[in-house]
Amino acid sequence: MRVTGLVTALRSEAACVSPGRVPFNQPASLNDQTLLWLSGMGAQSARAAAQGLQQHGVTALVSFGVAGALSDQLKPGDLVLPDAIHSGELLPVDCAWRDRLQRQLPASITVFNGLLADSHVPLTDEKAKRGLAQTSGAHAVDMESAAVAQVAKAANIPFIAVRAIIDPVYFSPPQALLTAVNPDGSVKPLHLTALLLKRSVRLGTLLQMGAGMREARKTLSQVIEMVGTGLASQGN
């Protein structure tokens, strides 16, 4: 039996796959053919999740969640189904599987292919984003897909990334806000209130981030609704 393993960094991403509360940093069985692992942010967490899923018998891996735009062409809610992951080396995506998935999506979802770049740290300004775009040739960036792709490559199992844009190239979450976020992306309310009172973070910034997340989650939820949690048939 083919079993797909999905890695999500954020609780808000996992909620697009499963309506119930997903346990943190352990496998959640969605059905006989799908396991979901809510890993927390960053490459180390995503790698551990992908390895854990592999040990639980998955036969394919998916990096599922949000990404930041590196191009003016991409806006919140657009979907990135990359050809490969740029992380010093080019990490392969099962393009046959990716293409089958893409063909099943409605025309209302704007899809971009090309490269998805890896970053070891959150990019908190436009200059950093445009610099990475220039050096990598990528349209978008995240912090987890490369790690999941590396595990899939080592295990010789199919891999795809499914990433919805949360912020445009000209907008990024401020560095100060990162201290008010838990590893699973949930907010520390008291810490966030303190940042707002000190004006280290502006309310308008939070509203823009919330709007971007809503658009990204709408797209991710549509993908699951149309294709299923196993994201249709796996690779070859």
Going by the DSSP 8-state scheme, the letter that residue 177 receives in this structure is G
pLDDT (mean) for 190-208: 85
Q: What burial class does residue 110 get, using C-beta atoms within 10 Å of its C-beta: 0-12 exposed, 13-18 middle, 19+ buried?
A: middle
Tokens representing 198 are 């000190």
* Banded model confidence at residue 115, pLDDT cuts 50, 70, 90: very high
For residue 235, pLDDT beyond 80: no
pLDDT (mean) for 67-86: 97
113 to 79, 138, 139, 164: CA distances (angstroms): 9, 10, 8, 12
For residue 71, pLDDT beyond 90: yes
Question: In 10 A of CB 146, how many CB atoms?
Answer: 24
8 A C-beta contact, residue 74 and residue 139? yes
The pLDDT of residue 21: 86
For residue 233, pLDDT beyond 70: no
**Looking at per-residue confidence, does 9 or 173 come out higher?**
9
* Banded model confidence at residue 118, pLDDT cuts 50, 70, 90: very high
Q: What is the mean pLDDT of the chain?
A: 92
For residue 236, pLDDT beyond 70: no
Question: In 10 A of CB 188, how many CB atoms?
Answer: 13
* Banded model confidence at residue 234, pLDDT cuts 50, 70, 90: low
Look at strands 159-167 and 34-38 and give their pairing. Answer: unpaired
Tokens representing 199 are 């004006």
